[in-house]
Amino acid sequence: MKRRDFLKSVLILPGLSLLASLGKEGVSYAMVVDVSKCIGCGKCVVACKIENDVPKEMPISRTWIEGYSADYSSPYSRTQVQKVVMNTTENPFIKMKWKYKTVFYVPKLCNQCSSAPCVQVCPVYARFYTKEGVVLVDKDSCIGCKYCVTACPYGATFVHPEQKVTDKCTFCYHRISKGLKPACVLVCPTGARKFGNINDKNSEVYRLLKESRVAVLKPEMGTYPRVFYINLDTTVVE
């Protein structure tokens, strides 16, 4: 066999697998949150806790709502912000006396980063990406060292007090893989949360991402989140 032929034949296998993966658009999940539609009713937090067995009375949750009231002024550094978090089944917003006039609610959850700090720092490789881009925790491998808790710029991961391992939003992976919506999206009364496959041209998230100006949280961290926000006030929300 000539050397040239040999080299050619060596390249066949990689070439084949490349070809096989071409033109095949996989599923890529994303969530789009319209902040202006959120009314702070807290149904998503309750649903998430029940669906995923997170203790209801403890101030930890896979998804939570941050209520902001702001008094804007110039220069921006003088802007006053009051922030209240709902992460139990108790809704603090109903009886809230806000200090400032502008009030809005921001639902938050794990951003399912495409370049996730928690995956990078995990010493036992317990965190991994699925082929749809969701970041999952392998609870058998997790040793509860909390590196990921410190690494996460969004504060989205926490130690589950009963399971003693880290836990975080999985986009309700057990639901979406059966074609159901995540629990928070299902119960949201105003449709502030939308979930779907961005590679599917008929999906609502595809349309929203095409039509609106979206923002992500902390873009400067280089995490490339899969959770997008519409009408987000990025000067106040962090």
Examine residue 128 and tell whether it contacts other proteins (CB under 8 A): yes
The backbone region for 225, taken as left when phi is positive above 0, alpha when psi lies in -120 to 50, beta otherwise, is beta
Phi, psi angle pair for 142, to nearest 5°: -60, 135
Contact 190, 230 (CB under 8 A): no
CA nearest neighbour of 167 among 53, 42, 58: 53
Between 43 and 168, CB nearer to ligand HEC: 43
Q: Which of 23, 74, 77, 131 binds other proteins (CB under 8 A)?
A: 131
Report the sign of the C-alpha dihedral through residues 49, 53, 57, 58, in that order.
negative
Q: For residue 222, state whether it binds other proteins (rule: CB under 8 A).
A: no
Q: Based on the shown chain and the rule CB under 8 A, indicate whether residue 165 belongs to the binding site for other proteins.
A: no
Q: How far apart are CA 23 and CA 90, in angstroms?
A: 48
Starting at the earlier edge strand, list the strands of the sheet with 193-197.
Answer: 193-197, 29-34, 227-230, 214-215
Between 16 and 201, whose beta carbon lies closer to other proteins? 16
Which residue's CB is nearer to ligand HEC, number 40 or number 117?
40
The yes or no reply on residue 27 touching other proteins (CB under 8 A) is: no
Binding region for ligand HEC (CB under 6 A): 41, 43, 189-190
- Shortest distance, position 188 Cβ to other proteins, whole Å: 8
Smaller CB separation from ligand HEC, 39 or 84 = 39
Out of 30, 42, 54, 160, which residue is the one contacting other proteins (CB under 8 A)?
A: 42
Q: What is the distance between the alpha carbons of residues 82 and 55, in angstroms, rounded to a whole number? A: 27
Task: Report the half-sphere exposure of 236 (CA within 13 A, side-chain side).
Answer: 24
> Is the CB of 15 or the CB of 191 nearer to ligand HEC?
191
Chosen from ligand HEC, other proteins, none, partner binding at 207 (C-beta under 5 to 8 Å by type)? none
Site for other proteins in 76-105 (CB under 8 A): 91, 93-94, 96, 98, 101, 103-105
Half-sphere exposure of 153 (CA within 13 A, CB side): 18
Token digits for 21?
């993966």
Q: Which residues bind other proteins (CB under 8 A)?
A: 3, 6-7, 10-11, 13-14, 16-17, 20-21, 36-43, 47, 50-51, 67, 69, 91, 93-94, 96, 98, 101, 103-105, 128, 130-131, 136, 138-141, 170, 172-175, 177-178, 180-181, 183, 186-192
